[in-house]
């Protein structure tokens, strides 16, 4: 019963967060200084009648309530609204992109976890905070985090080596390494582990029996952090490599002020992040999210 009520509470919280995200995004966009200006109004090819229609359309979508209603109606109709730019249901634009992006994200996250796990283990192997491998791993991850993802992607493109998977994996591995390393270092020096080590328990047994069960809950937070980082990084990566994914769709929508698409993508991202927090039992990680 307790489990059910806790599950229900978390579901309710998730639904509230998603609803607030929709309202917040709409309010933010509605009150952005240039919301009511439309690039099409500057196009001389539009006739006076078309301009009047544009003005009417702008006035109709000018109220927060109206925007919210059209968004909710899109969600209820499962078409996520109609794209201003392409004049087709948003869901038709999103569906093919989603498959590409999910595949890319899953592959890069899995690879990044393996790399980060291995490097964090190597970094902690010497059991000294000033070990050479540890310092080298830290330096490498700091250098990688200092390069914006866009620059990294462009370099790969110019060098004609690597692709979106390599860039995303590199960024995620660098970020995950910092988190995993801190976590392992703390866990490795826990009193019960120190005691077990002093008693001569073998390292594989220490890791399997004591270390892994202890850090399992924190791995949930790491998963959320990975998802957040990957979602933030995928836009520049997909745009630069011309990958037909959600990131490129969002960028195109931003450049063409296609609000329904942009809003739908933002809400989907929010659902993904909230659901990952829900699934792993953690709140969205409070680590820094910018890619």
Partner 1 sequence: MRFRSIAGWLLLAMVLIATAIVTSSGKAISEQDRNAVLEGASHRHPAGTDSLGRDRIVRVSAAFLLSLTGAVAASFISTAAAAGVGLLAAFSTAGVGTLTMLVCDVFLALPWLFLLMMVRSMLPLSTSPADSALITFVVLAALGWPACARAVYQGALRLRNSEWMIHARAGGMRIRQIPRQVLPNLLPLLLPQFLICVPAFVVAEANLGTLGLGVGEPLPSWGGMLLELGNSAILMQTAWVYLPIAVLVMALLLLESTAREA
Footprint on this chain of partner 1 (rule: CB under 8 A): 13, 16-18, 20-21, 24-25, 28-29, 32-35, 37, 39, 42, 138, 142-143, 145-151, 154-155, 158, 228, 231-232, 235-236, 239-240, 250-251, 253-255, 257, 259, 262-263, 265-266, 269-270, 273-274, 277, 283-284, 286-291
Q: Could you tell me the smallest distance in angstroms from the CB atom of residue 111 to partner 1? A: 21
Q: 202 or 286, CB closer to partner 1?
A: 286
Q: 44 or 146, CB closer to partner 1?
A: 146
Q: 100 or 263, CB closer to partner 1?
A: 263
Measured CA to CA, the distance from residue 116 to residue 122 in angstroms comes to 10
Measured CA to CA, the distance from residue 95 to residue 82 in angstroms comes to 14
Measured CA to CA, the distance from residue 84 to residue 257 in angstroms comes to 8
Letter string b/e over residues 190-201, b meaning 16 or more CB atoms within 10 A of that residue's CB: eeebeebbeeee
Q: 210 or 235, CB closer to partner 1?
A: 235
Written as six digits, the tokens of 85 are 């730019």
For residue 138, give every residue at least 6 positions away whose Cβ sits within 8 Å of its Cβ, in sequence order, or none: 123, 178, 181
Q: Could you tell me the smallest distance in angstroms from the CB atom of residue 220 to partner 1? A: 15
Q: 24 or 279, CB closer to partner 1?
A: 24
- Three-state helix/strand/coil letters over 232-274: HHHHHHHHHCCCCCHHHHHHHHHHCCCHHHHHHHHHHHHHHHH
Q: Could you tell me the smallest distance in angstroms from the CB atom of residue 168 to partner 1? A: 13
Q: Could you tell me the smallest distance in angstroms from the CB atom of residue 96 to partner 1? A: 19
* 8 Å CB contact between 201 and 244: no
Q: Could you tell me the smallest distance in angstroms from the CB atom of residue 53 to partner 1? A: 20
How far is C-alpha 259 from the geometric centre of its chain's CA atoms?
20
Q: Which of 236, 213, 230, 212 shows the shortest CA–CA distance to 276?
A: 230
Q: Could you tell me the smallest distance in angstroms from the CB atom of residue 190 to partner 1? A: 18
Q: 66 or 206, CB closer to partner 1?
A: 66
């Amino acid at each position: 019963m307790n489990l059910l009520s806790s599950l229900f509470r978390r579901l309710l919280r998730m639904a509230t967060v998603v609803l607030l995200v929709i309202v917040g995004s709409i309010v933010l966009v509605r009150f952005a200084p240039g919301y009511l200006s439309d690039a099409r109004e500057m196009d001389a090819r539009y006739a006076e009648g078309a301009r009047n229609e544009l003005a009417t359309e702008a006035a109709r979508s000018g109220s927060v309530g109206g925007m919210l209603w059209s968004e909710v109606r899109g969600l209820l109709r499962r078409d996520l609204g109609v794209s201003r730019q392409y004049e087709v249901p948003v869901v038709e634009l999103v569906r093919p992109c989603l498959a590409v992006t999910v595949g890319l994200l899953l592959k890069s996250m899995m690879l990044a976890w393996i790399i980060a796990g291995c490097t964090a283990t190597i970094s902690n192997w010497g059991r000294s905070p000033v070990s050479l491998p540890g310092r080298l791993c830290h330096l490498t991850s700091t250098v990688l985090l200092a390069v914006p993802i866009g620059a990294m992607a462009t370099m790969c493109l110019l060098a004609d080596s690597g692709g979106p998977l390599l860039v995303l994996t590199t960024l995620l591995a660098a970020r995950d390494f910092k988190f995993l390393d801190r976590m392992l270092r703390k866990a490795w020096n826990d009193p019960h582990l120190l005691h077990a080590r002093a008693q001569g328990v073998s390292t594989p047994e220490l890791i399997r029996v004591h270390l892994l069960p202890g850090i399992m809950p924190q791995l949930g937070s790491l998963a959320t952090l990975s998802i957040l980082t990957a979602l933030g990084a995928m836009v520049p990566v997909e745009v630069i490599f011309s990958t037909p994914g959600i990131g490129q769709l969002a960028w195109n929508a931003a450049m063409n002020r296609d609000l329904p698409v942009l809003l739908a993508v933002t809400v989907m991202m929010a659902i993904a992040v909230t659901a990952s927090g829900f699934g792993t039992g953690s709140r969205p990680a409070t680590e820094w999210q910018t890619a």
